[in-house]
Amino acid sequence: MATINFESELRRAGANATGGWRRLAFLAQRYMLGTIGLIIMLLFVWMAASADLICRYDPLSVDSAHRLAAPSALHWFGTDSFGRDVWSRIIHGSRISLAVGIGSTTLGATLGVIVGLASGYLSGWVDLVFQRITDMLQSLPLLVLALVMTAALGPSLPNVIVAIAIPLIPTVARVIRANTLALREQPFVEAAKSIGMSEMRIALRHVLPNTMAPLIVLATAQLGSTILTEASLSFLGLGIPEPYPSWGRMLSESAAEYVRTAPWLVIFPGIAISLAVFGTNLFGDALRDILDPRQRG
């Protein structure tokens, strides 16, 4: 009897696994552009994790004998004005872009969730204060506010993450606040209050989990904008300082002087930035359609 039960459990687990793979295959086929975006994102994550294995040269090593070498079998993407391998710098630069993108998105989303949840659930003077603060932050564009924050904090990796995260707070806070205002009137919240649950427990256990779907979509969409903002800051000289490889700084160093004589110095970093932003936007759009029933066919 035990053997029969064990075999039935195995069959049930196999059926569930098969059903899960079929659902994933259906979603991948239906949201083809989102699948392409996910593949691009996973490719950049793999490159960042395997940078030391897939690069033949140190991204910081200088080789004066091969300055401005064109792409070849020796240097796949050519070299820059210092003789540094462009392929190695782009691959290692993906670590910087992903660290800034994921770090700033996570920090901005976390602070935005705290502000939005408190503002929407507590309302009253708390809502009034938080909304005026978010209005002031949202009055400036993302890049302008990030420029101000970076200039005040100084160019370094932690400072760039904080400088980009601060402008993300208002957008996340408003989305979470809007969902919280709708959820606080639902019957399950009233039921939790009737059995004596504290306001903090209701907000964290019942309201917050129901705001995760829009938060995931918003965070995925903002990931691309944070990568682009970091590249813009580095292009302007306020992002990641030398000698760390950054896609925006690579463009800044070569765009004006070498765009005609060594176009590979502009083309390959530009392609890397475009693909990273393109992939996150495609995946974010597909994720929105999957998680939001109103967006489905």
Q: Quick one: angle between helices 157-183 and 212-235, nearest 10?
A: 150
- The token duo for 203 is 């907000």
Cβ-contact 206, 185 below 8 angstroms: no
Q: Determine the Cα–Cα distance for residues 78 and 56; give it in Å rounded to an integer.
A: 13
**Residue 29 one-letter amino acid:** Q
Write the Ramachandran bin of 86: left for phi over 0, alpha for psi from -120 to 50, otherwise beta: alpha
Domains recognised in the chain with CATH numbers: 68-295 (1.10.3720.10)
pLDDT of residue 255: 65
pLDDT of residue 20: 62
Cβ-contact 88, 59 below 8 angstroms: yes
pLDDT of residue 251: 80
Per-residue model confidence as pLDDT tens for the chain (297 residues):
444 454 555 455 555 556 667 776 766 777 788 888 889 999 989 988 888 888 888 888 887 777 878 888 888 888 888 888 888 888 988 888 888 888 999 998 899 888 888 887 777 777 788 888 888 877 777 778 888 888 888 777 888 888 888 888 888 888 888 888 777 777 777 787 777 777 677 777 777 777 777 788 888 888 888 888 888 888 877 777 777 788 888 887 776 677 778 888 888 888 888 898 888 888 888 877 777 655 554
243 upstream amide cis, omega within 30 of 0: yes
Q: Which residue pairs from 136-144 have beta carbons closer than 8 angstroms and sit at least 24 positions apart in sequence?
A: 137/166, 137/167, 137/169, 137/170, 138/170, 138/171, 138/174, 140/167, 142/167, 142/168, 142/225, 142/229, 143/229, 143/232, 143/233
b/e per residue, 177-199, with b = 16+ CB within 10 A?
Answer: bebbeebbeeeebeebeeeeeee
CA angle, residues 180, 182, 185, in degrees to nearest 5: 100
Q: Determine the Cα–Cα distance for residues 75 and 23; give it in Å rounded to an integer.
A: 43
pLDDT of residue 10: 45
Q: What is the dihedral of CA 138, 142, 145, 146, to 10 degrees?
A: 140
Other C-beta atoms within 10 Å of 105: how many? Answer: 26
